[in-house]
Amino acid sequence: MSHQPLDIHVHGEVPLRNDVKYEQLEEALKPLWQYAGESNLGAAMGSAYEEEPGIQWDEQRHVLSLCWTVSGDEDFRQAVEDTCMGLNELAASGAAMEVTFYDTEYDEEGGRDGVEARDDFLMCFVGPSPAAILQVQRDMMVNDLVHMMERHFDASELGGVVAAVDQLFEQRYKALVDATQWGGPSRGFGGGGHSGGRKPRHLH
């Protein structure tokens, strides 16, 4: 059975190097604007929803901002992975991007008997180096853990938790460095994990 298109929402902010030109950004985002069926970045900057700012490049602040929805399907995962790989070359520091797959047909019908919504959520990371990406991942995990545990513990009691997270990421970084030194992959940190469950349609 063929699937109806999904609303796919991309949300995030990526600091770019000061020397990045529009042409470079357009090339890095090519998988996105081609997926949207456009011939260039300018034509694809607007979102499917008028209330969303879409794809914006702040040339003064050197920041790429995305709050952009496109109609598509699961094959969008490859497009966003290729985009992350391109942005790695332009990023000034590590950053995260959220991708929400929203099943509009399920929402409109109030659910389909015996059929689960195809909603999904993907967290992607970009950065100029694996270390920069790991730093973003570490910071997000620490923030999530502290926020959750502060319901039960004082913040001053959580130093051991943060230290344990740091140790885990240090081990991951060491393993990555060792793999690189022995000829393993030196990059490819475009994608992240995902979790199911219905998410808000727009992540402002």
Q: Is the predicted pLDDT of residue 114 greater than 60, yes or no? A: no
Q: Which of 66-75, 107-116, 158-167 has the highest mean pLDDT?
A: 66-75
Q: What is the rounded average pLDDT for all residues in the chain?
A: 82
Cβ(129)–Cβ(87) below 8 Å: no
Task: Give the Å distances, CA to CA, from 14 to 97, 140, 157, 176.
Answer: 8, 15, 33, 23
pLDDT digit string (tens) for 53-76?
999 999 999 999 999 999 999 999
Task: Give the Å distances, CA to CA, from 17 to 14, 46, 194.
Answer: 10, 24, 28
How far is it, in rounded angstroms, from Cα 122 to Cα 190? 11
pLDDT on residue 175:
76
The residues spanned by each domain of the chain are 6-127+189-195, 132-181
pLDDT digit string (tens) for 120-132?
889 999 999 988 9
- Among the ranges given (21-30, 42-51, 120-129), the one the predictor scored with the smallest mean pLDDT: 120-129
pLDDT on residue 14:
97
Beta-bridge partner residues of 65: 13, 56
pTM here is: 0.74
Q: What is the mean pLDDT of residues 171-181?
A: 70
